[in-house]
Amino acid sequence: AQSVTQLDSHVSVSEGTPVLLRCNYSSSYSPSLFWYVQHPNKGLQLLLKYTSAATLVKGINGFEAEFKKSETSFHLTKPSAHMSDAAEYFCVVSDLYVGNTPLVFGKGTRLSVIA
């Protein structure tokens, strides 16, 4: 069965400094991996996804993530945080061949950006 562990429940950074949100996954087969963002009182928006092509994936708003199979990680990064990045971030794994549940969510990481 697949699972996702987001290693930090809360990350706080200063505006203009780098962002690192950590995610480790477990999957029996080749996974697809996603990062979603949820702004306060909003739905979930896809930031980026890994689909077994390039291991470095670029997403919206300057975010990117690197798939590292040997470390079973898919950490989300951004070179310079902006106030508008403050939100909840979810790492998600999809595993085609295990049951019929396509998306398994991590518990989320709340990103705070300090002016």
Partner 1 sequence: EAQVTQNPRYLITVTGKKLTVTCSQNMNHEYMSWYRQDPGLGLRQIYYSMNVEVTDKGDVPEGYKVSRKEKRNFPLILESPSPNQTSLYFCASSPQTGVNTEAFFGQGTRLTVV
Q: Which residues bind partner 1 (CB under 8 A)?
A: 9, 30-32, 34, 36, 42-46, 49, 51-52, 90, 94-96, 100-103, 105-108
Judged by CB, which is closer to partner 1: 83, or 96?
A: 96
Q: What would you report as the CA-atom Rg of the chain, rounded to the nearest whole angstrom? A: 14
Burial category of 28 from C-beta neighbours within 10 Å (exposed 0-12, middle 13-18, buried 19 and up): exposed
Least distance (Å) between residue 50 CB and partner 1: 9
What minimum distance in Å lies between the beta carbon of 32 and partner 1? 5
Q: How far is the CB of 95 from partner 1 (least distance, A)?
A: 8
| Structure tokens given for 66 | 């690197």
